[in-house]
């Protein structure tokens, strides 16, 4: 389990440190241990690696709690808007496992039942490729850039302690 879980545990600890007493670490640590053990079991690792990641995740939770408590003590109002961008830095495969490609997989049961009831809706069709001329592509890019510039991100003020 790479560093993604440690970052999540640290952020969770900081969020708890902002608003909760120290005893919240008891159930939070238990949940962290169960989560890490489950993820490690799912990933197929065992032995000392599992215990190492459990210890590191628990330590990250507690260090995050201390950081959150310190940030709350000095009354930083925008704490979560500083911590939450850390989640964007976590790569999609940061938890050490992702969907494996190449194996034969069955379709979801819901899709199979739907296709039995409505076979015409599930018939294979030839994919259509949209043709965009250079002028239209430039126009689309200009509109997209204009819209992106006009949107201003705002923090969720309900998450920030007054």
74 and 133 together in one domain: no
Specify the number of domains making up the chain.
2
Which residues are CB-neighbours of 113 under 8 A, at least 6 positions away?
none
CB count within 10 Å of CB 134 equals 7
DSSP letter at 47 equals: T
35 and 80 together in one domain: yes
* pLDDT at residue 24, rounded to an integer: 81
* Model confidence pLDDT, tens digit, residues 121-143: 888 877 777 777 888 888 999 99
121 and 43 together in one domain: no
* pLDDT at residue 143, rounded to an integer: 94
* pLDDT at residue 109, rounded to an integer: 85
46 and 125 together in one domain: no
Q: Which domain holds residue 54?
A: 3-99
* Model confidence pLDDT, tens digit, residues 62-110: 888 888 887 776 655 555 556 656 666 666 555 555 555 666 777 888 8
Residue 12 resides in a domain: yes
The torsion angles phi and psi of 93, rounded to 5 degrees, stand at: -100, 25
21 and 94 together in one domain: yes
79 and 115 together in one domain: no
8 and 37 together in one domain: yes
94 and 127 together in one domain: no
Nearest to 61 by CA among 29, 105, 93: 29
């Amino acid at each position: 389990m790479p560093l993604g879980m440690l970052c999540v545990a640290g952020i969770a600890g900081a969020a708890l440190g902002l608003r909760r007493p120290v005893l919240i670490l008891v159930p939070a640590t238990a949940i962290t241990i169960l989560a890490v053990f489950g993820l490690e079991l799912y990933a197929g690792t065992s032995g000392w690696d599992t215990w190492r990641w459990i210890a590191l995740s628990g330590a990250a939770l507690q260090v995050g709690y201390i950081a959150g408590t310190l940030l709350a003590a000095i009354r930083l109002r925008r704490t979560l808007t500083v911590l939450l961008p850390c989640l964007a830095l976590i790569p999609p495969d940061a938890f050490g496992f992702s969907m494996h490609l190449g194996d034969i997989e069955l379709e979801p049961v819901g899709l199979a039942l739907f296709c039995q009831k409505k076979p015409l809706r599930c018939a294979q069709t030839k994919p259509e490729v949209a043709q965009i001329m250079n002028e239209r592509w430039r126009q689309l890019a200009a509109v997209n850039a204009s819209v992106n510039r006009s949107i201003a991100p705002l923090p969720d003020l309900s998450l920030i302690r007054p």
